[in-house]
A and B are shown apart, each in its own frame.
Chain A
């Protein structure tokens, strides 16, 4: 189904954070900073171990995610990117993103990152409402987002993303709209807005299960999504994935790679990779990852070969997410009709594309279309 030329992305996972946010179920840990330098060393080794298999493949994006990559020293981050560039065929104009927490960066650090080659900055703002940040158990304050953002601009960052989360306990539609306006006022080139999802194995998940905290109201989250579509659209951001908006030309090339099912390398604890219909992932616990690398092994935790049915389901669900839609011919006759009639899908140039309402019901669409 995919006929892309072999270009790839590289994802590097850094599992360290200052504190653990209540809603977070990523492979991230607070209090493991003492492992940082061993970990950087391991990443350098893994890059070397992994690279031969990718010889001749052009790498068009590198993404340092986490966790909080900016908990690492600039020197380490610089060495890391240099290693990646030296062992993989990274194109000169590759998109290189680093995730940052407002509390872990200042002007000096940001200048260092830019200089080291991290040309795109993705910052976890989440909200500009103090009480929402508290509900999410985020440690930073709204002011530090603004400060960090201004610092990024001051040192010359042009391509900055701000992450937002909506639907935490106590957040109202008005508060969310204020967060959106404040975000727009900062004029980042890219905005991600995620509806809060309660994951059972998190602090927040347990609070919700106990009934101490209400679960997000899906109807309110739907209103919030619509508000985001409306305000961000008016402000000139293009909606190019369910939860992502960008100024023209600033769409995240790396993330698009996932969604378009292009190959990617995963480096670091718990990182996932994909190539030729097969997915694999590294072991999750940092200690285990470290010791495997230090023994000279590839730290593979598991893998799967996609059956045609799996691949089809993925392709449909990912393509619907990025609003490219899917060719109408992929869907059995008649399956799309109820959604076309009720305005969840539209037909565009032989493709079935979700509308805004359809995006909110994407799971239904995927299940309904794939049967």
Chain B
């Protein structure tokens, strides 16, 4: 096919600025979805996305408009999913940068703009939600124009809700975004930018063909893993899967690889044809994202470790940012230490594992990665249990991020106070516009990854936004806090925190556990400790009464059944030393109720 009629573009924006809603209008405008099948945020296909009202996974669709073939990728806006955005950019020549005309520029507007620009994409800026009474299009257009160094008149104004201006925007995309380049005759090189596992069809990859042609049913080769396979089908998402004869240069589509082994198809790999037509050089691929937080994932009582492994392997295909390694806990048995891009990501992964693979999981308290240094040796610690005893090393370093906060100027003071209280170091403050400050801080990752965002939002009435990127490691006074039940440490409850936070963690955990641990036949001491020093303590008083009051009238059956029920309940307890701990106590005590909020 002639590539001059192909346009590959994505929609990028700050969270909630209307990307998926704009995608809806484009689906309608190009008659890709029958009216009766249309629903809001059509491309948010996962139940989780619909329930939470956010996009989690980038979605590529093929649209046809006049004589043009349009490959559109809707991307997520949340900072935890930036990796999805950067992979999508690699499959495109252009990006619509959408800005909410009421909210204006936000932290991920800037971050995504920089990503798109650095990837060499043509940027088509647009203000969205101009139907809102609070929209200030003139002011916002000027700000956005300043950022892009363009004329405010270049900024299109649309309402993804009403459809106003959407057709003009599409026209601008077709006019401004260049068609892809790439020779049909060249050896095939197609970039795997996403993948998934289908229980019936095996590994399905989403590819962008850079050059050459990928005919349906060809024998393919994955260049990084060397795996070869007879591809079953090529097709495009329109927006439902639609087989095509071939994908040509510049085209975006899917490939049913015929592979069943999930380890053989990696996101970022290059697909070529097997045999003498194989390409020599793979495409650059992606930098593996670095996990920001780690947590133990364990099957709930009776759950199966190998099922969890299988589920993780499959999920990783459609979530390449996930990483994991086996871990054993005294309290929770065999599981995995998994790395995530943030708490939302962690929450989503856990829920997807539970829903899509029918598992019940316990996740331990999340922590960041620490570097323990002795002499010229560095040990990387993802798991509090691996933290060496104090005194056996020279120092510990914790991850630092470069954080950007954008805030209306009236909340600047509140933002500075918050960052300061989180051990932050101010880099600079600039004014994006006379009304909006852009603050840069060096902050320990551990300080912002948990509940910082909630505080930021509540201290600024929801107006400030945050973005951050890894910067490096810095020495820090961190300690491991252990939680002991009746003198017995419970590894699942240990955490590594800055010394200033140790007491709060210890107090919170001991108080929670006091509510969660049922009374036993003896007083149970619940202690939090740093080394041998107890920093918090609670007691669950011994149970004194557990007897059926009345046993008469001859209805012995019922009493026996009550005892049998109680017996079953006992069987679900995990023993920690002498203490019986119900499974629910682990789940409830480890529930990250602060920080893991939606946005």
In the bound complex, residues from chain B placing their C-beta under 8 Å from that of A338 are: 521
Asked whether, in the complex, the Cβ of A360 is within 8 Å of the Cβ of B547, the reply is yes
B374 to chain A, nearest CB (A): 44
Contacts A194-B550, A222-B544, A242-B547; A367 near B557 (Cβ below 8 A): no
B residues 525-544 with Cβ under 8 Å of A? 541, 543-544
Asked whether, in the complex, the Cβ of B546 is within 8 Å of the Cβ of A363, the reply is yes
* 8 pairs of A and B residues whose beta carbons are closest in the complex: A222-B544, A272-B554, A362-B547, A218-B545, A222-B545, A195-B549, A194-B549, A363-B546
A238 at the A/B interface (Cβ < 8 Å)? no
Question: What is the chain A residue whose CB lies nearest that of B522?
Answer: A342
11 residue pairs bridging A and B, Cβ less than 8 Å apart: A195-B547, A225-B545, A258-B552, A272-B554, A314-B560, A342-B521, A342-B522, A360-B546, A363-B563, A366-B563, A367-B563
With the chains together, A255 CA to B567 CA distance in Å? 26
With the chains together, A219 CA to B547 CA distance in Å? 12
In the bound complex, residues from chain A placing their C-beta under 8 Å from that of B557 are: 272, 279, 281, 304
Q: Which residue of A258, A271, A304 is within 8 Å of B551 (Cβ)? A: A258
B118 at the A/B interface (Cβ < 8 Å)? no
In the bound complex, residues from chain B placing their C-beta under 8 Å from that of A13 are: 553
B389 at the A/B interface (Cβ < 8 Å)? no
With the chains together, A222 CA to B542 CA distance in Å? 12
B residues 555-569 with Cβ under 8 Å of A? 555-557, 559-560, 563-564, 566-567
Asked whether, in the complex, the Cβ of B555 is within 8 Å of the Cβ of A281, the reply is yes
Asked whether, in the complex, the Cβ of B567 is within 8 Å of the Cβ of A367, the reply is yes
A269 at the A/B interface (Cβ < 8 Å)? no
In the bound complex, residues from chain B placing their C-beta under 8 Å from that of A363 are: 546-548, 563, 566
In the bound complex, residues from chain A placing their C-beta under 8 Å from that of B560 are: 310, 313-314, 317
In the bound complex, residues from chain A placing their C-beta under 8 Å from that of B545 are: 195, 218-219, 221-222, 225, 360-361
With the chains together, A361 CA to B557 CA distance in Å? 20
Asked whether, in the complex, the Cβ of B549 is within 8 Å of the Cβ of A258, the reply is no
B570 to chain A, nearest CB (A): 6
Contacts A313-B564, A314-B560, A367-B567; A362 near B546 (Cβ below 8 A): yes
Asked whether, in the complex, the Cβ of A259 is within 8 Å of the Cβ of B551, the reply is yes
A74 to chain B, nearest CB (A): 23
With the chains together, A342 CA to B523 CA distance in Å? 12
In the bound complex, residues from chain A placing their C-beta under 8 Å from that of B559 are: 317
Question: What is the chain B residue whose CB lies nearest that of A274?
Answer: B554
A287 to chain B, nearest CB (A): 21
- B-side interface residues toward A, CB under 8 Å? 521-522, 541, 543-557, 559-560, 563-564, 566-567, 570
A residues 233-260 with Cβ under 8 Å of B? 242-243, 255, 258-259
A204 at the A/B interface (Cβ < 8 Å)? no
With the chains together, A367 CA to B570 CA distance in Å? 9
Asked whether, in the complex, the Cβ of B544 is within 8 Å of the Cβ of A279, the reply is no
Asked whether, in the complex, the Cβ of A11 is within 8 Å of the Cβ of B563, the reply is no
Asked whether, in the complex, the Cβ of A243 is within 8 Å of the Cβ of B550, the reply is yes
Asked whether, in the complex, the Cβ of B554 is within 8 Å of the Cβ of A266, the reply is yes
B522 to chain A, nearest CB (A): 7
With the chains together, A65 CA to B552 CA distance in Å? 10
A115 at the A/B interface (Cβ < 8 Å)? no
A residues 313-343 with Cβ under 8 Å of B? 313-314, 317-318, 321, 338, 342
Contacts A225-B545, A317-B563; A361 near B521 (Cβ below 8 A): yes
B60 to chain A, nearest CB (A): 52
- A-side interface residues toward B, CB under 8 Å? 11, 13, 26, 65, 194-197, 218-219, 221-222, 225, 242-243, 255, 258-259, 264, 266, 271-274, 279, 281, 304, 310, 313-314, 317-318, 321, 338, 342, 344, 357, 359-364, 366-367, 370
Question: What is the chain B residue whose CB lies nearest that of A259?
Answer: B551
B565 to chain A, nearest CB (A): 11
Q: Which residue of B522, B549, B554, B564 is within 8 Å of A243 (Cβ)? A: B549
Question: What is the chain A residue whose CB lies nearest that of B578?
Answer: A338
Asked whether, in the complex, the Cβ of A272 is within 8 Å of the Cβ of B555, the reply is yes
Asked whether, in the complex, the Cβ of A218 is within 8 Å of the Cβ of B544, the reply is yes
In the bound complex, residues from chain A placing their C-beta under 8 Å from that of B547 are: 195, 242, 359-363
In the bound complex, residues from chain A placing their C-beta under 8 Å from that of B570 are: 367
Asked whether, in the complex, the Cβ of A197 is within 8 Å of the Cβ of B552, the reply is no
With the chains together, A196 CA to B547 CA distance in Å? 11
Q: Which residue of A221, A304, A344, A362 is within 8 Å of B521 (Cβ)? A: A344
In the bound complex, residues from chain B placing their C-beta under 8 Å from that of A313 are: 560, 563-564
Contacts A279-B556, A279-B557, A310-B560; A360 near B551 (Cβ below 8 A): no
Q: Which residue of A197, A243, A273, A361 is within 8 Å of B544 (Cβ)? A: A361
In the bound complex, residues from chain B placing their C-beta under 8 Å from that of A359 are: 547
A326 to chain B, nearest CB (A): 15
With the chains together, A102 CA to B559 CA distance in Å? 28
Contacts A310-B560, A367-B563, A367-B567; A11 near B553 (Cβ below 8 A): yes
Asked whether, in the complex, the Cβ of B549 is within 8 Å of the Cβ of A361, the reply is no
B229 to chain A, nearest CB (A): 54
B457 to chain A, nearest CB (A): 33
In the bound complex, residues from chain A placing their C-beta under 8 Å from that of B563 are: 313, 317, 363, 366-367
In the bound complex, residues from chain B placing their C-beta under 8 Å from that of A357 are: 544
Q: Which residue of A195, A222, A271, A314 is within 8 Å of B554 (Cβ)? A: A271
Besides the contacts A242-B547, A258-B556, A338-B521, what 7 more A-B pairs have beta carbons closer than 8 Å? A258-B554, A271-B554, A279-B557, A310-B560, A361-B543, A362-B548, A364-B543
A20 to chain B, nearest CB (A): 17
In the bound complex, residues from chain B placing their C-beta under 8 Å from that of A65 are: 553
Question: What is the chain B residue whose CB lies nearest that of A66?
Answer: B553
Asked whether, in the complex, the Cβ of A197 is within 8 Å of the Cβ of B549, the reply is yes
Contacts A313-B563, A342-B522, A367-B567; A361 near B554 (Cβ below 8 A): no
Asked whether, in the complex, the Cβ of A318 is within 8 Å of the Cβ of B555, the reply is no
In the bound complex, residues from chain A placing their C-beta under 8 Å from that of B550 are: 194, 197, 243
In the bound complex, residues from chain B placing their C-beta under 8 Å from that of A370 are: 567
Contacts A360-B546, A362-B546, A363-B566; A314 near B551 (Cβ below 8 A): no
